[in-house]
Amino acid sequence: MRPPNSRALFGLIATLPLVLGGCRQAPPAAPVAAPVPVQDLREIPSPAPRDSGQPNLALGTGGEIYLSWIETLDSGDPALKFAVRKDDQWSPPQTITSGEQLVVNMADFPSLLPLPGSVLAAHWTTFVPHSEGYNVNIAFSRDAGRTWSKPVIPHRDRNPVEHGFVSLLPAPGGGVGVIWLDSRKLSKKNAATAGNAGDVAMMYTTVSLDAKVGPEVSIDNRVCECCQPSAVPTATGILAAYRDRTDQEIRDISVVRFDGNKWSAPNNVFADNWKINACPINGPAISAHENHVVVAWFTAANDQPKVEIAFSSDGGTTFSPPIQVDEGNPAGRVGVAVLDSGSAIVSWVSRGDQADQRVQVRARQIDPDGTRHPSLLLGTTSSGNFPRLKRSGDSVFFTWTERTKDQALLAALDFKKN
């Protein structure tokens, strides 16, 4: 379930004001907006120092943007830190946790979740001593991140196996809902009786602000081993997108809904029929606004790699046929943000040629009628990179790791309608 560790050298973040046009009646896949001028790029100093990585973004309850990352302390230990951007300024970085047991992984990275009342929730993973396993940790801060509670392990399983790839979201009644991938069936203790040893399950529980862990539920007993799930709250409950896994090794994208009492059966977003015998380390992304829901994902069915997006106007009950987002040779690693109009901003990475090991970080707007706006090159980076994006009002923020700068920078990108 765990891909190789990776330590990035630089952190970047970009912001682009949204193109807020509605759904046009142009033919599908026809660009309708002028290219974004290069001079609209702006660079802003980052709060993350050199030799930092695993960046992630979160949206505050007042629209502020939180950037979290892992950096290396003078002692050599990794530390999880964050800063908040408000009124065009970054707060001083604050430490959530540190220590040699903190897992540093290119694909399985920590997250931060702002809650009402200056409460913050955070998750990270720590190694189980003398084993290959690691555990999920959840902690809360009631003073905007100055101090943190003792971490809680949300999963009941204590076998030295891998628990990770977490999606945090507000829980009904307070606290957080926690979705994670759980490989307890891989443990030697259960292998003889599990019947389907080797399977990885997607699990769910809640953790209250006073550290009480709720009932544990298996959402799906067999999912792709190390593809990050993505979940959002909607008017009809939690909606989670993830890469499913059939007995025939078909690994397409499914969604499930939690109505407050139980999880629904999986619903395939689209049958790409991608058969692959190993995890592609390429989870989907989901975003919602009112009844508008969008899911973006990567597939390489029939040896044709594509980044796709599907729209829903009924809260994720049904989805439109997928629209191809990329322009060729994508590596995936998608992010998505839905706009008020129902359109979406999608980010992904595209591979360079064999002589250039860097990949391009790209983004574009897609409308529900199939209109593809011109794609935008945000930057270049290494192949082991998982860009993230988050919308705040009329801007979308992006973050990824960059190895070619002499210092950590924030690249601010104005995506203006001419």
**Residue 147: what pLDDT?**
97
- Higher-pLDDT residue of 321 and 375 is 321
**Residue 58: what pLDDT?**
95
Closest by Cα among 227, 111, 253 to 169 = 111
Chain centroid offset of residue 29 CA = 26
CA distances from 114 to 130, 244, 397 (A): 34, 29, 16
CA distance 211 to 399: 31
- Span 293-320, mean pLDDT? 97
- Span 354-379, mean pLDDT? 85
- pLDDT single digits (tens) 211-240: 999 999 999 999 999 999 999 999 899 999
Residue 299 predicted with pLDDT over 90? yes
- Dihedrals phi, psi of 397, to nearest 5 degrees: -100, 140
Label residues 275-288 b or e (16+ Cβ within 10 Å = b). ebeebbbbbbbbbb
The pLDDT-based confidence of 14 (bands split at 50, 70, 90) is low
Residue 17 predicted with pLDDT over 80? no
Residue 94 predicted with pLDDT over 90? yes
- Higher-pLDDT residue of 35 and 393 is 393
**Residue 368: what pLDDT?**
95
259 Cβ neighbours under 8 A, 6+ residues apart: 236, 237
Q: Lowest mean pLDDT: which of 83-87, 311-315, 414-418?
A: 414-418
CB-side exposure of 39: number of CA atoms within 13 Å?
0
Write the CATH number of the domain with boundaries 11-413: 2.120.10.10
CA distance 250 to 273: 6
Residue percentage of the chain with pLDDT more than 90: 65
Tell me if 321 sits within 8 A of 310, measured CB to CB.
yes
- Span 343-365, mean pLDDT? 84
**Residue 22: what pLDDT?**
29
- Span 379-397, mean pLDDT? 82
Strands ordered across the beta sheet of 306-312: 285-289, 292-299, 306-312, 323-324
- Higher-pLDDT residue of 49 and 115 is 115
- Span 69-89, mean pLDDT? 93
| Angle value at C-alpha 121, between 401 and 185, nearest 5 degrees | 80
Average pLDDT of the chain to the nearest whole number = 84
Residue 183 predicted with pLDDT over 60? yes
Rg (CA), the chain: 20
**Residue 11: what pLDDT?**
41
- Higher-pLDDT residue of 314 and 198 is 314
Residue pointed to by tokens 């960059």: 402
CA distance 203 to 112: 19
Give the pairing of strands 176-182 and 200-207: antiparallel
Tell me if 309 sits within 8 A of 375, measured CB to CB.
no
- Span 53-60, mean pLDDT? 92
Write the secondary structure of the chain as one string of H (helix), E (strand) and C (coil). Answer: CCCCCCCCCCEEEEEEECCCCCCCCCCCCCCCCCCCCHHHEEEEECCCCCCEEEEEEEECCCCCEEEEEEEECCCCCEEEEEEEEECCEECCCEEEEECCCECCCCCCCCEEEEECCCEEEEEEEEECCCCCCEEEEEEEECCCCCCCCCCECCCCCCCCCEEEEEEEEECCCCCEEEEEEECHHHCHHHHHHHCCCCCEEEEEEEECCCCCECCCEEEEEEECCCCCCEEEEECCEEEEEEEECCCCCECCEEEEEECCCCECCCEECCCCCCECCCCCCCCCEEEEECCEEEEEEEECHHHCCEEEEEEECCCCCCCCCCEECCCCCEEEEEEEEECCCCCEEEEEEEECCCCCCCEEEEEEEECCCCCECCCEEEEEECCCCCCEEEEECCEEEEEEECCCCCCCEEEEECCCCC
CA distance 4 to 256: 29
pTM of the model: 0.89
Residue percentage of the chain with pLDDT more than 70: 81
Tell me if 37 sits within 8 A of 16, measured CB to CB.
no
Q: How far apart are the first and last CA of the chain?
A: 46
Longest dimension (CA), the chain: 64
Residue pointed to by tokens 């952190």: 11
- pLDDT single digits (tens) 24-35: 233 333 344 444
Q: Count CB atoms within 10 A of the CB of residue 39.
A: 7
**Residue 204: what pLDDT?**
98
